[in-house]
Amino acid sequence: MKHDHNTKILTFYSDPDVVGYYKNDDRLIPVEAALLARVKEELQNQPILDIGIGGGRTTPHLREISKAYTGIDYSEAMIQAARWRFPGVDFLTCDARDLSRFQNGQFAAVFFFGGGIDDVSGADRLLVLKEIRRVLRSRGIFIFSSHNLAGHFTAGRAGGLRLYGNPRIFVADNLLRLRCWISHCKGALRNMIHDKGYAVFVDYDGYFATQPKIGVVLRTHYIRRSGQIRQLIENGFSEIEAFDPGGNIINDDKTAKSVYLQYIARKRE
Query: Please, which residues bridge with residue 70 across strands?
Result: 49, 90
Percent of the chain with pLDDT over 90: 60
Domains, the chain: 2-147+225-267 (3.40.50.150), 151-220 (no CATH)
Per-residue model confidence as pLDDT tens digits over 185-237: 887 777 777 777 888 888 877 656 666 677 787 889 999 999 999 999 999 99
The residues, ordered by sequence, that sit 6+ positions from 129 with a Cβ below 8 Å of its Cβ are 231, 232, 235, 237
pLDDT of the residue at 1: 42
Strand ranges (E), the chain: 48-51, 69-73, 90-93, 107-112, 136-148, 198-205, 216-223, 237-243, 260-267
Query: Quick one: CA torsion of 84, 73, 90, 50, rounded to 10 degrees?
Result: 120
Please state the rounded mean pLDDT for residues 155-179.
Answer: 70
Per-residue model confidence as pLDDT tens digits over 46-58: 999 999 999 999 9
User: What mean pLDDT, rounded, does the chain reach?
Assistant: 89
Residue 256 phi, psi dihedral angles, 5° rounding:
-90, 90
